Amino acid sequence: MTWYEFTGRSVKEAIAKACEELNAEEPLLDIEVLEESTRGFLGIVGHRDARVRVRKRDILREVTETAEPPESAEGAGSEARLRESAPRPDVDALEGSADEREESGEALKAVESRVDPSPFVEGAREILQGMLDRIPVAAQVEATTANGAVYLDIKGDGSGLLIGKKGQTLDALQFLVNKIVNKANPPGSKVEVVVDTENYRARKQENLRETALRSSEKAKRSLKPVSLTPMPAHERRIIHLILADDREVYTKSYGEGALRRIIVYPRRGTINKRRRR
């Protein structure tokens, strides 16, 4: 098999070019980096492109010799499985106050054995109503169940006071109600309580969906990772879930605590495939 040389501003970019040119995904190529790129001085003086040497791997021969399935085929298989078992993102994503449930593929796959929320509805409603009465705001709490969670809707205030900056007051209320309702419940049998007012949660989720789709578009277009602003766990979870269905990008979280943020990465191989069609 013949070798081809490609250059790019970075090794990654050079490889991306190679994939596109040779109509092959990265795992199907033998890649040798001949030269790393140097950034140069202030990005102007002394910049040097990266150079890579690639050739197509002879998969058929490799398979017969090593009796091992090629990486790419296996990768695609497990991905397909993951997609089948992944929960549908839309409604499920609405709840999600659990701290770090979002991250791994494992967690996304896991179908939780949910606790029946109905015995907790009245108690949760009373607690939230009690808090509101003492703030004091004139508002009524309506309680229902939705998607296996207790759903508390605050009616009547409408001033935005209870939402707070970026929803922080609403989140604080929700956090405390969850904590109180689940005081006696051991981990694993905790019931989820969602506190909402003026349809804030649904509006927020719509915003998150837009953010997710926009950043995924940007990642695909630029072929570069796109970093989002720091978000709390349940918001990151929603973004992960929305983009889990998108085969051309993948998402990861970086950072600690309040500064933890999602980075959306383009998947190189699939992008090239799509462009050709």
Partner 1 sequence: MKELIEFIAKALVDSPEEVSVVEVEGERGSVIELKVAKPDLGKVIGKQGRTARAMRTILSAASTKVRKRAVLDIVE
Using CB under 8 A, list all residues that contact partner 1: 127, 130-131, 134-137, 161-162, 164, 168-169, 171-173, 175-176, 179-180, 183, 257
As measured in angstroms, the least distance from the Cβ of 127 to partner 1 is: 6
As measured in angstroms, the least distance from the Cβ of 147 to partner 1 is: 23
Determine the distance from the C-alpha atom of residue 116 to the mean position of all C-alpha atoms in its chain, rounded to a whole number: 27
As measured in angstroms, the least distance from the Cβ of 260 to partner 1 is: 13
CA pair distance 272, 55, nearest whole angstrom: 17
Nearer to partner 1, 72 or 169 (CB): 169
Per the CB < 8 A criterion, the answer to whether 95 and 194 are in contact is yes
Checking 231-235 for CB contacts under 8 A at 24+ apart, the result is 231/260, 231/261, 231/262, 232/171, 232/258, 233/96, 233/97, 233/98, 233/99, 233/100, 233/101, 233/102, 233/260, 234/95, 234/96, 234/97, 234/98, 234/102, 235/204, 235/208
DSSP at 186: P
As measured in angstroms, the least distance from the Cβ of 144 to partner 1 is: 22
As measured in angstroms, the least distance from the Cβ of 162 to partner 1 is: 7
As measured in angstroms, the least distance from the Cβ of 131 to partner 1 is: 6
Helix (H, G, I), strand (E, B) or coil at 226: strand
Alpha helices per DSSP H over the chain: 11-22, 59-66, 71-85, 89-92, 105-109, 121-134, 168-181, 200-222, 233-244, 268-276
Report the amino acid identity of residue 30. D
